[in-house]
Structure 1
């Protein structure tokens, strides 16, 4: 009877996930701007988002940090929005906004009451068409803001440099080995023409995706988008060629000293396939199996049973050019980093030799479906998903169909991918150790 009920529950779960189709309309303006509209009139709220397909990997050597710098600068006012007024306008109209920069994109979004649709579109068109880029106190101010952010998030934050400690050793040619926030000296050396050139190349409609989601009328939204965006000139995009990263054939060992910590950490990194591949999705499932939640393999073994770790986590950081498979563990008591490494290696070896159990496989599918639904549970989440699927995959409808790819992954594929990409000779191991003012790894 229990087996029958379990089958029914799984069947209804599958139907529920697949019935939540996200409807959308997409098209291009004459200037190359890709537009995606999603109408959901259940609440009087809209999200307007613009993704520029430029991140830290696209920056020139010696001019790092530009993508992140512009994330800040483009809130500093435009031809028709005075300096310091952007956030005040948003708040005065009942809205909120934010932005982020990654290695692969810069993403801006506003959340407004739905009767402020035109305002949100006008503001984003101003950001694209009329940014103020001149050598005045705005640029100096934002350079200072970026430095403070670096101090807060990296230099002075406990374990703040974990990702950089791995990737700076893992990627010896590709710009994924850089700091996303860039080097201080590069921003200091840049002149106004450098900033204008970067903006002219990348913050243009033919390098952008505009998403409007929520309580909209599609016909009205199209009219307003044409009004505010259609006449913005496009740019001549440069097709960038990134250096090919040589495969790692022998373990790379490194040490990083962080004066902000008292307990060391073990970091392990592997180069894995880019985000659009099936193998990348299999690696996502593998990381869920190993460390997602208290019932995961590594959590149960290293935290619950052996009480040898304060925390353990694995994640496949899927990106446009490569993926980075990361493992992190923090020891408890007298256990060493080598002890943690042995336990992790033992579990990886098991996955490489044997198929995971039917029970664990079903649990993986349930977790996956829950994550898929959660990501698209809000209008903001849907807008972000629609944007990412177009920008990085060239297939916006993956917002509805990607789960089918995950559901088709077999236990055999999980084993084969672990064998192919997680071998000991293919990795970087970083001992992330407590330091002090006289013994610390410098972040420029």
Structure 2
């Protein structure tokens, strides 16, 4: 996993909806169908029955790939889509972390990193030049059974990506220096994901070793520092020779292409690759069934809330019971109407989070249910409550309503997971890896529909019994209970002796002897939709961005008020107001709201940004009218019941405690105070441990009345909807919404006066890594320097090829990744450059960030360097328009910043028009190093002396003395 895609062993700790590729983290933190007629209801229907008609017309289009097999055994799948200007290329290899040789855990993942380096005809980082630099992207992930590489590029670059993928399959080049550097990167990934995350050890290390007794799934996919250090270059060469062969690979291409031309390129680049005549190492371990309950307690540093996990061995992916277990999991924990949320979070209020995750791997599987305990609740309470909910499945059949709701959620989720060509290719890839059958991804929709209440009770009685329960408690380490150690030296079915001998050593050919990379073809221009606009009589501005594609519609209702409008001493009010809209109206209770949303297979929610608040809804087209009617009720008639406020405050407080245990999150919470001090932009938008409990029901009602009003509202529709249908729905839902008599609230000077730069260290003893952030004020969104700074920020830290990532990760192996962000706002925004690194490297990394910032304003970038960064921005913009939510978000942001809708079509041109001189000048005006503040969060004992030598005025704040309510942080 190169940057932020999911992967490794913890991929199993993600909650997956039907298709494995789409997931929401368990930690805290085809052909288009015609539009379906809406079922609308008059505004008076808001007072009618709470019953909602379940969706009946939602269909998930088949993936529609064509298959052929090359003579060398490589499987090829292609799917044409004329509705996009891009193409997705994926290569899936049937090798994953289960195939790591004994003593080399984490090796498949380490090897994944190395495959991005050189080949015989491509120098290091060429793949990034072929993807990022033309407006695409590349990434990869390693899971238990697979390593997959994927790219999305403008369609005219397809031949070049096929050339590159064939190159790294057939002629990989790895030298000792590259191997050592990338191994250091993976070790930093281990520190960041496992050691620095409060629950990283639990889900990444301890749960796999508890769930599996003999199967190699019990080893963490990311490995261990010890095993990574033991790996050698010879291991790399032998691993490549063993598993990276055409008959062990699946090539998937989806997007806009000419089929005959594509077939010819595949024959040209992949068909000549030879299939070895030797077998691959056998690795099909039969995990023994559990013979009795098991339990253990683990300890780790900086665990803010105790956690418990109960798990049960279940079935592999290709088992008939997978569908029933998937629906069971949906009833158990999907959404706020689910059994676990209702019991542990809502009714008993003993859990900050409660959820479950089914994992169906190729050779075995499990279901795990977890809870992060809230307040004074004990792990034993969590265990007992989870056991009670599981027992209900065994002792009584689920209701018809629960069954229908879970199915609708799963099927609507499958629809959303096929919006882009990349998503559809991934759905196919998972099906092929797990079952070998390309029809699996389509057939599982029917399998879900066929599940009965009797099926769910049967699988609960078969698999989820007390005798099969594995119970884990996860607690904060202390003097009496030191951190639990990772289990090392785990036996594995594959040994180093099983690997093939290293093949002929491949080296980078002299430039004159290299096979040239194909030239790109004629570009296909992305098309932005025509935006239609009307204003309702009460002032609501309505914008419509219709698209073709899947039968999905998104609505986004935005208001000109955000966290900067929180009153003094009430930080978190805007966010809490937004979170409360799903927590009851005068007609509906929170469980009734959750049930209606989930019965529709819809999503409705709200969140507050710095300047604005957004309420969003997404639903299949045939139930979108009902979804918008419900959304309008939540917006216009929130109850703000005192008991619901207490629940939300308790959950928010637990979330803050978790956030204040992780270095990166602590840094992000603190930067605002360093840059803006006591000004409105300075307060943490999520609130603090002091301000959140001080918020009252009257505060919520007053904020809602002052800021949620038709005269400041913008409603954006995007997706499978016509302007005429949108106008009618907007009028029915919001046309009779009266403007409140109270005056509109306003906040002047959100950014406040500029402050002197500071160097702040927040000391977190035992932190797994240090978070390093350089920050200063930037510009407003409508500032003339916005586009030059946007391009400059991307040049500095906008991707794998950016300057910061090159210097910190690629050249020195000091971090898993480094980046920069331009936080443009209505007033002066904030610029940040950040990374995480071993504590002892914090000072060096801070110096590297500042040096690159200084270079940005000291000299102009070359056109050759700037052009690819502009393409990266434009490519990301184009891909974001492929989903209905992404398109709606762009349109809403233009409206909220009072920018013309023509900027949507003009965006790419404005980015590409920026010159190197404009970037240099804007950086000199806005990002000069003498105005930069540094915030470093980590174990200060490991770097403070060196930092003081460079910055004698450094402020050191112990984490237990950090005061986010104060402009000084003290």
Q: Aligning the two structures, in what range does the TM-score lie when normalised by the shorter sequence?
A: over 0.9
- State the partner residue of 1:439: 482
Equivalent in 190, 194, 201 of residue 150 of structure 1: 190
Q: 1:81-230 alignment to 2 at 5 Å?
A: 81-134=122-175, 136-163=176-203, 164-230=205-271
Task: Point out which structure has higher relative CO (alpha carbons under 8 A, 6+ apart).
Answer: 1
Are residue 12 (structure 1) and residue 57 (structure 2) matched? yes
Q: Give how far 1:85 is off.
A: 3.3
Q: Give how far 1:401 is off.
A: 2.1
| Deviations, residues 193-222 of structure 1 (Å, cap 9, x unaligned) | 322111111111100100000111221111
Q: CA RMSD in A?
A: 1.9
Determine the C-alpha separation between the residues in 1 that align with 2:126 and 2:272: 25
**Residues 99 and 283 in structure 2, CA contact (< 8 A), matched pair in contact too:** no
Determine the C-alpha separation between the residues in 2 that align with 1:190 and 1:345: 42
- State the partner residue of 2:12: none
Q: Give how far 1:315 is off.
A: 1.1
- State the partner residue of 1:79: 120
**Which entry has the higher C-alpha Rg, 1 or 2?**
2
Determine the C-alpha separation between the residues in 1 that align with 2:230 and 2:443: 46
| Deviations, residues 98-153 of structure 1 (Å, cap 9, x unaligned) | 1000011001000000111101111111111111133x210000110111000000
**Residues 91 and 148 in structure 2, CA contact (< 8 A), matched pair in contact too:** yes
Determine the C-alpha separation between the residues in 1 that align with 2:265 and 2:283: 36
Q: Give how far 1:392 is off.
A: 1.8
**Residues 215 and 287 in structure 2, CA contact (< 8 A), matched pair in contact too:** yes
Determine the C-alpha separation between the residues in 2 that align with 1:89 and 1:24: 25
Determine the C-alpha separation between the residues in 1 that align with 2:63 and 2:288: 40
Q: Which runs of 4+ in 1 moved over 3 A?
A: none
The residue matched to 2:173 in structure 1 has which SS? coil
- State the partner residue of 1:397: 439
**Residues 84 and 255 in structure 2, CA contact (< 8 A), matched pair in contact too:** yes
Determine the C-alpha separation between the residues in 1 that align with 2:83 and 2:370: 41
Equivalent in 294, 299, 310 of residue 252 of structure 1: 294
Q: Give how far 1:70 is off.
A: 1.0
The residue matched to 2:57 in structure 1 has which SS? helix
Q: Which has the higher helix share?
A: 1
Determine the C-alpha separation between the residues in 1 that align with 2:351 and 2:360: 26
The residue matched to 2:328 in structure 1 has which SS? helix
**Residues 308 and 340 in structure 1, CA contact (< 8 A), matched pair in contact too:** yes
Determine the C-alpha separation between the residues in 1 that align with 2:244 and 2:104: 17
**Residues 46 and 117 in structure 1, CA contact (< 8 A), matched pair in contact too:** yes
**Residues 70 and 76 in structure 2, CA contact (< 8 A), matched pair in contact too:** yes
Q: Give how far 1:223 is off.
A: 0.6
**Residues 280 and 323 in structure 1, CA contact (< 8 A), matched pair in contact too:** no
Q: Give how far 1:325 is off.
A: 1.1
Q: Give how far 1:354 is off.
A: 0.8
- State the partner residue of 2:42: none
| Deviations, residues 71-106 of structure 1 (Å, cap 9, x unaligned) | 100011211111233323322222101100001100
| Deviations, residues 282-328 of structure 1 (Å, cap 9, x unaligned) | 11111110111111111012111221110001111110010021111
Determine the C-alpha separation between the residues in 2 that align with 1:189 and 1:162: 24
| Deviations, residues 363-390 of structure 1 (Å, cap 9, x unaligned) | 1111111111112121111011111212
The residue matched to 1:383 in structure 2 has which SS? helix
- State the partner residue of 2:108: 67
Determine the C-alpha separation between the residues in 2 that align with 1:150 and 1:232: 35
Determine the C-alpha separation between the residues in 2 that align with 1:370 and 1:360: 15
Q: Give how far 1:230 is off.
A: 0.5
- State the partner residue of 1:412: 454
TM-score by length of 2: 0.44
Q: Give how far 1:239 is off.
A: 5.0
- State the partner residue of 1:263: 305
| Deviations, residues 148-205 of structure 1 (Å, cap 9, x unaligned) | 0000000121100222312202212110110101233333223333221111111111
The residue matched to 1:88 in structure 2 has which SS? helix
Q: 1:284 to 1:121 in 2, by over 3 A?
A: same
Equivalent in 369, 379, 385 of residue 343 of structure 1: 385
Determine the C-alpha separation between the residues in 2 that align with 1:115 and 1:255: 55
Equivalent in 330, 348, 351 of residue 306 of structure 1: 348
Q: Give how far 1:6 is off.
A: 6.9
Determine the C-alpha separation between the residues in 1 that align with 2:377 and 2:228: 43
- State the partner residue of 2:370: 328
In structure 1, runs of 5+ residues without a counterpart are: none
**Residues 407 and 449 in structure 2, CA contact (< 8 A), matched pair in contact too:** yes
Determine the C-alpha separation between the residues in 2 that align with 1:258 and 1:411: 40
The residue matched to 2:98 in structure 1 has which SS? helix
The residue matched to 2:368 in structure 1 has which SS? strand
Q: How many residues align?
A: 437
Q: 1:349 to 1:97 in 2, by over 3 A?
A: same
Equivalent in 287, 298, 314 of residue 272 of structure 1: 314
The residue matched to 1:161 in structure 2 has which SS? helix
Are residue 316 (structure 1) and residue 358 (structure 2) matched? yes
The residue matched to 1:293 in structure 2 has which SS? coil
**Residues 275 and 281 in structure 1, CA contact (< 8 A), matched pair in contact too:** no
TM-score by length of 1: 0.94
Determine the C-alpha separation between the residues in 2 that align with 1:64 and 1:93: 35
**Residues 58 and 240 in structure 1, CA contact (< 8 A), matched pair in contact too:** no
